[in-house]
Amino acid sequence: MKIEWTDYLRYKATLRGFDLGIIESILKFSPERYFDSAAGRRAAVGRHDDKLVIVPYEANEEVIVPITIHAITRQQINFRIRIGRFIHEQNQTNIL
């Protein structure tokens, strides 16, 4: 699947000190994925060096478009799961 890098994502990654190669690995290989019901987007979680990060993205059969990237804590993820904002992607059907 091809990744389509937006100017906004490139800007945010540079601003926050994240490497596009690591972001690509998170998007392609992260087993931890959620559907964010508040944003209406999928999100992949992974490690970037010593930081836990989340990458919200949109995807179809051909392309993944990452929206942004930012650091997140396990506590924030667990809270969002508990209140129903994050739904494990494998439990979600027909997200697209």
What pLDDT is recorded for position 93?
40
What pLDDT is recorded for position 90?
76
- With CA atoms as reference, report the closest residue to 65 among 16, 7, 17: 7
For each of the domains in the chain, give its residue range(s) and CATH number, in order of start. 2-89 (3.30.2310)
- Whole-number Å distance between alpha carbons of 3 and 83: 31
- Whole-number Å distance between alpha carbons of 47 and 20: 13
Which uninterrupted H or E stretch holds 79?
A: helix 74-82
What pLDDT is recorded for position 63?
96
What pLDDT is recorded for position 48?
98
What pLDDT is recorded for position 65?
98
Low-confidence ranges of the chain (pLDDT < 70): 91-96
